[in-house]
């Protein structure tokens, strides 16, 4: 039975691009999915518009980000303090917020993040916003939960370079922390409870009420015509076969370079380029990564795990070449970029 399950998983992984395309076709076919039609140019398979034809937008492709959560507010507040506390690092210089700036897109806008003593990491920091909506954490999916993810940066030698024994040794000297943990957790200030508080805070980092969310909730004027066309093109070109769901991504793995050898063309291979292979050791997972969320994507440059695309337009061009393997007129690329800029949401009621 174990062997059969393993072979089944291998078969699914090897055919994920085809299955994803079939899933998209099923979604676009409509079925019981709710649709909302707008009178504007439709999009052919080539991407060229046909004037005067209705275009269907399928709600099954994505949904608005929830506007509230049922999280414990006291634990969220505690986690927020820890998120900004540099004592989690070995030399008290780096906090979670150092690489995940909440005043921007939840990133540091560097190709590689800088840790303690100026150490440079090996991969681009993904956004912390809406990370609780991802099905796994890290580009290679090595953490199944936010709690498990937190262990990575705290102990990584190029990031915080600390240990939980060191962290607890510092925090127990802070009577405020001791009191708050004692109130919220039966066993007080422990490593699992620190991770849980941080994870609860990260789950609270939702960014609802983007213009696209308002559009999905029924406000047809939330997007201008170019942005609506960009959303139609985003679907017709096949972008939504990987970027779908409430987070417009973050719910599947995909290989970087389905339609071309991205890494050979880019050159200078690194260990991080191996992606999920570094976790599983399975050759089928080489260059495979968790599909990133597109929420707030206009704020999270540079793009990809290697930070190689400096602008949103650069990133779209790379995806068109290496993931779709088809030409795209510049006008279509600009319309898709315009649509993606509507995905910038709000944090704590204020626009990002």
CA 196 to chain centre: 20
**According to the model, what pLDDT value does residue 199 have?**
98
Token pair in block for residue 344: 């910038």
Look at strands 253-255 and 54-58 and give their pairing. unpaired
Mean per-residue pLDDT, 272-282: 98
- pLDDT tens per residue across span 237-250: 999 999 999 999 99
CA distances from 167 to 83, 154, 162, 247 (A): 13, 9, 7, 32
How sure is the predictor about 125, in pLDDT bands with cuts at 50, 70 and 90?
very high
- Is the pLDDT reported for residue 349 higher than 60? yes
Structural domains in the chain, sorted by start = 16-61+208-351 (1.10.760.10), 73-203 (1.10.760.10)
- pLDDT tens per residue across span 53-96: 233 445 457 999 999 999 999 999 999 999 999 999 999 999 99
- pLDDT tens per residue across span 194-236: 999 999 999 999 999 999 999 999 999 999 999 999 999 999 9
Catalytic site positions: 159
Residue with tokens 């439709």: 42
First-to-last alpha carbon distance for the chain, in angstroms, is 49
- pLDDT tens per residue across span 20-49: 444 444 433 333 333 232 222 233 333 333
**According to the model, what pLDDT value does residue 332 have?**
98
**According to the model, what pLDDT value does residue 47 have?**
34
The closest of 195, 200, 235, 258 to 57, measured between CA atoms, is 235
Token pair in block for residue 308: 């190689």
User: What Rg value do the Cα atoms of the chain yield, rounded?
Assistant: 21
**According to the model, what pLDDT value does residue 61 have?**
75
- pLDDT tens per residue across span 148-203: 999 999 999 999 999 999 999 999 999 999 999 999 999 999 999 999 999 999 99
**According to the model, what pLDDT value does residue 14 have?**
52
Rounded Cα gap, residues 280 and 82, in angstroms: 32
């Amino acid at each position: 039975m174990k062997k059969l399950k393993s072979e089944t998983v291998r078969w699914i992984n090897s055919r994920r691009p085809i299955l994803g395309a079939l899933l998209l076709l099923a979604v676009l076919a409509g079925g019981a999915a709710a649709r909302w039609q707008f009178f504007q140019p439709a999009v052919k398979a080539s991407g060229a518009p046909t004037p005067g034809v209705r275009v269907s937008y399928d709600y099954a492709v994505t949904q608005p980000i929830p506007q509230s959560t049922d999280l414990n507010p006291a634990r969220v507040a505690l986690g927020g303090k820890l998120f900004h506390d540099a004592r989690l690092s070995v030399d008290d210089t780096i906090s979670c917020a150092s690489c995940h700036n909440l005043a921007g897109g939840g990133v540091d806008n560097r190709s590689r993040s800088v840790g303690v003593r100026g150490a440079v990491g090996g991969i681009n920091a993904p956004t912390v916003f809406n990370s609780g909506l991802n099905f796994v954490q890290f580009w290679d999916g090595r953490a199944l939960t936010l709690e498990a993810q937190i262990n990575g940066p705290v102990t990584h030698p190029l990031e915080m370079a600390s240990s939980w024994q060191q962290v607890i040794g510092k925090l127990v000297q802070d009577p405020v922390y001791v009191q708050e943990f004692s109130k919220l957790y039966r066993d007080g200030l422990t490593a699992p409870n620190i991770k849980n508080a941080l994870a609860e805070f990260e789950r609270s980092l939702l960014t609802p009420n983007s213009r696209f969310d308002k559009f999905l909730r029924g406000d047809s004027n939330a997007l201008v015509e170019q942005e609506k066309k960009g959303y139609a093109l985003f679907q017709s070109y096949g972008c939504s076969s990987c970027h779908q769901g409430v987070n417009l991504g973050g719910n599947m793995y995909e290989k970087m370079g389905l339609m071309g050898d991205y890494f050979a063309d880019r050159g200078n291979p690194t260990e991080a380029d191996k992606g999920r292979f570094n976790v599983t050791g399975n050759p089928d997972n080489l260059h495979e990564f968790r599909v990133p969320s597109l929420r707030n994507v206009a704020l999270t440059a540079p793009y990809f795990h290697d930070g190689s695309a400096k602008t949103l337009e650069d990133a779209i061009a790379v995806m068109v070449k290496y993931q779709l393997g088809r030409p795209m007129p510049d006008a279509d690329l600009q319309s898709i970029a315009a649509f993606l800029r509507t995905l910038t949401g709000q944090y704590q009621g204020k626009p990002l």
